[in-house]
Amino acid sequence: MPSFTLKGSERTAVQGAQSLGPAEPGERLEVTVLVRRRARQEFAARVAALAAGRPPVVLSRDEFAKRHGAEPADLAAVRAFAAAKGIAVVQEDEARRTLVLSGTVGEFSAAFEVELHQMTHDGGSYRGRTGAITLPSELHGIVEAVLGLDSRPQARAHFRLRPAASAAAVSYTPLEVAAAYGFPSGTGQGECVGIIELGGGYRPSDLTKYFEGLGIAKPSVVAVSVDHGKNSPTGDANGPDGEVMLDVEVVGAIAPKANIAVYFAPNTDAGFLDAITTAVHDTHNKPSVISISWGGSESTWTAQAMTAMDEAFQAAAAMGITVCVASGDNGSSDGVTGGGDHVDFPASSPFALGCGGTSLRASGGSISSEVVWNDGTSGGASGGGVSGYFALPGWQADLATNHKGKSAALSMRGVPDVAGDADPETGYDVRIDGSNTVIGGTSAVAPLWAGLIARINQLSGKPAGYLNPRLYQNPAALRDIIGGNNGDFDAARGWDACTGLGSPNGAALASVVVALRRAQ
């Protein structure tokens, strides 16, 4: 039977991984298949207009599904393929363009012409593959991605617990950080903030205690299960519970009357994408802002996965949804061994608001100093640099990096776009698994910005949506950070690859966004 290689599906093993042998043929798994969208030319024109900063025509979720969801015939073609291979379809979503297939290792290996192995490496073990995926010719041009055959952890949480206390360390509640940045008044009432989590969980009793301590009512928080992921606290503050609690507590403190929907999914490429598309197309909770504090170096992703997630963010932009993503906690290397500069994905998507980190000193709502967060290789630093995958957006044209003391024109997508307090030495007071502690990392910056945007959405009565082009046109809406570095990149006046355009100048930012939205 004629077949083709699925573009961008090539996988390599985790560095240092070794095969323990073929995966158990009878092991059951689920695989996500993404198909093309309808009216692709119309969608491309819509995305180009958004990227150019033209006033958007925001589509509702229902309108988007009708215009740009999957063609029924394409879904039917995948169903027929699965049936012919003895594989079940357990979920199908036209708006998300997704089918979830269930079968055994043996069935999927034969269907996609791959060899699945049990792999081991220093970080654990996973079911993996190398090489590309093969599909029958009748699916050519229909299927855009096949994710989930490989079960390796795809992302890491970008938070840092404060180490042993130092004499210079300070900490703030999220409300104190918001006051320092001059956030506009508001509670986020009427908005929903979606939070993506790839493990861990929250305890309602901890949330009750935490918000009582802040003197505000506990916000409405709901857990949404994706691909069997659940709110499952582990009891380990150093693990994913720290990420979940940080995200919920920062958003909830800044926007206490917003509804918070937490999307729990497995930490795989399929789980990550499915969590995002579920949040973007959620017609029940309807988040207007999504916060993501997980990611991994671009070098660890397949091209098909990065393209699929970038397209999910494009869909979010078309529906007026802002996506805030942490830029990483490992400076210009992004934690990749062997040298060189790397950036974190999904923060490097041009349709994500990449959120970098600073070290903030403030008192009584007044900032005394703010520089790039960089505590050295053992302490963490703001992620940032130049993408090796995504082209230079028009709104970053004519910018430059200051790399190892030399200026160079930005040639590809630059990361991050904005910043905020991330240094554990100037961190956030939080409560995790029954204990009060202090956390930093760019994981705190994504929910900080998400809470800010929820307040602004409440003020304007319309969603802020895709902000990137407008922010680059209005740099005075941010506090330029000109001191420090994240390793190979130095801070500079204007945009830089450490803190982007800078940290929030809350009132100015609100004025820009509200005026823009009310003029539409």
Q: Which residues contact 33 (CB under 8 A, 6 or more apart)?
A: 78, 98, 99, 100, 101, 143, 145, 146
Q: What percent of the chain has pLDDT over 70?
A: 99
Following DSSP, what letter does each residue of 83-126 receive, concatenated?
HHTT-EEEEEETTTTEEEEEEEHHHHHHHHT---EEEEETTEEE
Span 216-236, average pLDDT? 96
pLDDT of residue 520: 64
Tell me the domain boundaries of the chain: 3-36+71-147, 176-518
Give pLDDT tens digits for 306-316. Answer: 999 999 999 99
pLDDT tier at 277, thresholds 50, 70, 90: very high
pLDDT of residue 379: 82
| 243 a catalytic residue | yes
Q: Which residues contact 149 (CB under 8 A, 6 or more apart)?
A: 29, 31, 108, 112, 114, 116, 127, 129, 133
Dmax (CA) of the chain: 71
Q: Residue 398: what residue type? A: D
From the candidates 94, 150, 243, 329, which is the catalytic residue?
Answer: 243
pLDDT tier at 124, thresholds 50, 70, 90: confident
pLDDT of residue 145: 98
pLDDT of residue 165: 67
Taking 70 as the threshold, does the pLDDT of residue 206 lie above it?
yes
User: Mean pLDDT lowest for which of 113-117, 162-166, 189-193?
Assistant: 162-166
Cα separation, 7 vs 134, in Å, equals 9
| 443 a catalytic residue | yes
The tokens of 278 are what? 């579920």
- CATH homologous superfamily of 176-518 equals Peptidase S8/S53 domain (3.40.50.200)
pLDDT of residue 185: 96
Helices (H), 200-302: 204-214, 240-254, 269-280
Strand partners, 21: 118
The tokens of 451 are what? 């809470």
Span 222-246, average pLDDT? 95
Cα separation, 483 vs 489, in Å, equals 11
Place of tokens 């999927």: 108
The tokens of 192 are what? 């929903």
Q: What percent of the chain has pLDDT over 90?
A: 92
Give pLDDT tens digits for 450-509. Answer: 999 999 999 999 999 999 999 999 999 999 999 999 999 999 999 999 999 999 999 999
CB contact at 8 A, 224 and 195: no
pLDDT tier at 376, thresholds 50, 70, 90: confident
pLDDT of residue 97: 98
Span 203-214, average pLDDT? 97
Averaged pLDDT of the chain: 96
From the candidates 247, 341, 417, 421, which is the catalytic residue?
Answer: 247
Strand partners, 391: 412
Taking CB atoms within 8 Å and a gap of at least 24, the contacts of 25-29 are 25/104, 25/105, 25/106, 25/109, 26/104, 26/105, 26/106, 27/104, 27/105, 27/127, 28/102, 28/103, 28/104, 29/102, 29/103, 29/104, 29/105, 29/108, 29/127, 29/148, 29/149, 29/151
Taking 70 as the threshold, does the pLDDT of residue 167 lie above it?
no
pLDDT tier at 123, thresholds 50, 70, 90: confident
pLDDT tier at 57, thresholds 50, 70, 90: confident
By DSSP bridging, strand 400-403 and strand 156-157 are unpaired
From the candidates 109, 297, 443, 503, which is the catalytic residue?
Answer: 443
pLDDT tier at 519, thresholds 50, 70, 90: low
Give pLDDT tens digits for 61-110. Answer: 999 999 999 999 999 999 999 999 999 999 999 999 999 999 999 999 99
Taking 70 as the threshold, does the pLDDT of residue 431 lie above it?
yes
| 150 a catalytic residue | no
pLDDT of residue 15: 86
- Terminal alpha carbon distance of the chain: 53
pLDDT of residue 110: 97
| pTM for the model | 0.98
